[in-house]
Chain A
Amino acid sequence: MSDRKLPRLLQTPAVLLLLVWMLIPLGMTLYFSFIRYVLNSLRRPEWTSPSLSNWRGFGNYEFVLKSKDFVLAIQNSLFIVCSILFLTVILGILIAVLINKSFPGQGIVRVLLISPFFVMPAVNAVLWINMILDPVLGLQGIAVAGTNDILDGLRQMPVLGGFFSLWPEFEPISFRATQTSAIAVIMMVTWQWTPFAVLIFMTSLQSEDQQQKEAAVLDGASTWSQFRFLTLPHLGRPIAIVVMIQAIFHLSLYAEIEIVSRGNGNKNLPYLIGEFANNNIGAASATGIFAVILANIVAIFLLRMVGKTLME
């Protein structure tokens, strides 16, 4: 069996590269998370280089857990991720069921729908926050101003004017504020990732058992019960996969947060790590370890699921 040796050796470069890529940085993060390590300190210059003599034990973890930003960042991360998951799965199922049957122009609609997924995240965020959501110059601002103009005109009308003067003026919403910027991020990411969900659900719908469906129709099953008892169970596995893959991607959401809400209170975990990393490396590393733990909880489920189909 010596002729098998060389072929097997061919995977070594890939394995070694990934091993180095994973172990060295992660090991360093773990090490930094247990020492005092800052980039600038006039008072304690000895803390500015990593060294075992600056050992802090779990001090960095305590510091991070006690900081207000950390709790906010976790809350925000979860809020953003859960909202995106909920919206993309619901929209994805509806749209996939809608366009799965043939109709004139089905191919073109598919192409139109999938396009947002390929837009680079930085462009996505800049496009939405400026040209679409800006309260003055974006489409939102223009639409609100236009509506107010129309209302003003209606108020001048002889009889009905009295009715319209009861209506309020509309106020545009600024999506760069702390409370609203998470909504903006959710909107733009949902726009980008719904196509992904649609694509996967459609792929899965194509393997649905058509004979079973026809039998159900002959038995007089309503469209709803066909959907509820045949289609939805069939989509169970793809839904789980969409949820987990997106969870992993969105837990490390960065470009959108950076562009939309830089400097306000809307931070997620990766953003907070970046902020700590400007000076307090110990705290950044401890936060990083928390992020790894969070991602692993999701990853274990996903890996189990993927593993089952692996050697089929």
Chain B
Amino acid sequence: MAIVAQSSKFSTYGRPILAWGVGLLFFFPIFWMVLTSFKTDADAVKPEHLLFFTPTLDNYLNMTENYDYWRFARNSVITAVSATVFTLFVGVPAAYAMAFNPSRATKDVLMWMLSTKMLPAAAVLYPMIFLAKGIGLYDTHILIITVLSLINLPIAIWMLFTYFKEIPKDIIEAGKMDGVNTWGEIKEILIPLAWGGIASTALLVFIFCWNEAYWTVRLTTIDAATLSKLIEGNRAPEGLFFGRLSAVSTAAVGPIVVLGWFCQKQLVQGLTFGAVK
């Protein structure tokens, strides 16, 4: 009883008020961006229209005209979706092999894969440009898809590995008794059982691909340029275009933020490589 009495005052009033305050404070910049996206460019910089203004959809309707938004969005969708699919295509069999048929080297292989993630991208910037231009792949979807897949492959394999480890080996062994071959095991047993884990891995990889802002900026000019490149190219609008810039930014991050809400838990696992439970 003492526990309840001791902390009651703070728990009833202080905690909710403070917590809501912090939550709203952190969300405020996003709210502000969305709000500004409904203002005209002129209203967006006038103090008297800070909160009260006539909302307009023009910024969204003119995104194609102002920024050629859909071309960049199309590139983002193509590269992020293809990279996610390719990552899983390579990652699921690899994680399957490591989780169900581990060898003595498995642990080292996993650690080594993780260490590739720690190579600073900038260190290999020029060789990548050199190679890409050499093979004639600079500024193409294929190049961006390959790079996005490779930088996310270690995280994907790690996440899948931790999910697959939870599946009882007996179930897979039972499949073997019934004479199911390896592909059958993956297709008929593993994928249905680990569907949730695979889906959340896919979601997280997709988010990372969408937000990537080093390779997508440095390895593209126009044909394969993604939304990161579009926004980066409009870094200093000199205040003239706050309205339209907010609209295009909202369109670029909105879907991802909403997707992100659904995979908070997986995020912890994916980013800490299962080390925090």
Contacts and interface: CB of A to CB of B under 8 A. Distances in A.
A272 to B, nearest CB: 9
A106 B213 CA distance: 32
B122 A270 contact: yes
A120 B124 contact: no
Nearest to A259: B235
B107 interface: yes
Contacts of B213: 120-122, 254-255
Contacts of A99: 19, 22-23
A309 to B, nearest CB: 5
Interface in B124-159: 124-131, 150, 153-154, 157
B216 to A, nearest CB: 9
Interface string A224-246: 00000000000001100100010
A17 to B, nearest CB: 6
Contacts of A105: 16, 20
A26 B234 CA distance: 32
B168 interface: no
Given A24-B131, A131-B36, A277 B125 contact: yes
Looking at chain B, what size class is its interface with the partner chain? 35 or more
Contacts of A8: 97, 101, 103
Q: Which of A103, A105, A299 has the most CB of B within 10 A?
A: A103
A99 B30 CA distance: 21
Interface in A107-126: 108-123, 125-126
A196 B269 CA distance: 12
Contact of B114 (A14, A26, A292, A303): A303
Q: Which of B101, B107, B259, B277 has the most CB of A within 10 A?
A: B101
Nearest to B176: A3
Nearest to B182: A6
CB-based closest 4 A-B pairs: A288-B123, A118-B260, A270-B122, A25-B124
Main secondary structure of the interface of A (DSSP, over half): helix
Given A110-B264, A132-B32, A307-B111, A277 B26 contact: no
B239 A118 contact: no
Contacts of B261: 111, 114-115
A189 B182 CA distance: 45
A108 B23 contact: yes
Contacts of A103: 11, 15-16, 19
A238 B245 CA distance: 38
B182 A32 contact: no
Interface string A277-312: 100010011001101101110110011011101110
Looking at chain A, what size class is its interface with the partner chain? 35 or more
A199 B272 CA distance: 11
A85 interface: no
A120 B19 contact: no
Contacts of B257: 115, 118-119
Interface stretch (B52-60, B61-69, B88-96, B193-201): B88-96
Contact of B23 (A113, A122, A126): A113
Contact of B27 (A28, A115, A125, A241): A115
A262 B235 contact: yes
14 contacts: A11-B93, A11-B97, A14-B90, A22-B116, A25-B131, A29-B127, A98-B19, A101-B11, A109-B23, A122-B228, A126-B235, A137-B239, A254-B217, A303-B114
Contacts of B157: 14
A279 B119 CA distance: 23
Contacts of A25: 124, 127-128, 131
Given A6-B182, A112-B26, A255-B232, A17 B20 contact: no
